[in-house]
Amino acid sequence: MKKTKMKGIGDEEREKEGGRGTKWRSEEMRREEEGSRKEVNGREKNDEETNAEKERRKRREQEGRLEMERKREGGYKEMNRRIREKEAERKG
């Protein structure tokens, strides 16, 4: 059952000004109704999929953090080595 409203007198002006018209609102409401129905029917499947996606995202983020940390440590080691070499040249 698709419910659509007829446009009122002020709706055209509201659309011209960038506001939402009644037709747009009814489309949005219809989408929300469809979404809620899908959630009820396929809730378990959606939860499993989202959990798997969350796990993958966590793993990717953690790998990215570890990689950045390794790069940072490598950079610090290189910097410290150069500093030690310069100090050795000054003293020696």
CA distance 12 to 19: 9
CA distance 82 to 92: 15
Question: What per-residue confidence (pLDDT) applies to 92?
Answer: 74
Question: What per-residue confidence (pLDDT) applies to 12?
Answer: 65
Question: What per-residue confidence (pLDDT) applies to 53?
Answer: 86
- For residue range 7-66, what is the model confidence (pLDDT) as tens digits? 566 666 666 655 555 555 567 677 776 665 555 555 655 666 678 888 998 999 999 898
CA distance 37 to 78: 58
- For residue range 74-85, what is the model confidence (pLDDT) as tens digits? 888 888 999 999
CA distance 25 to 6: 12
Domain boundaries, the chain: 19-91
Question: What per-residue confidence (pLDDT) applies to 74?
Answer: 83
Question: What per-residue confidence (pLDDT) applies to 71?
Answer: 83
Which carries the bigger pLDDT value, residue 40 or residue 69?
69
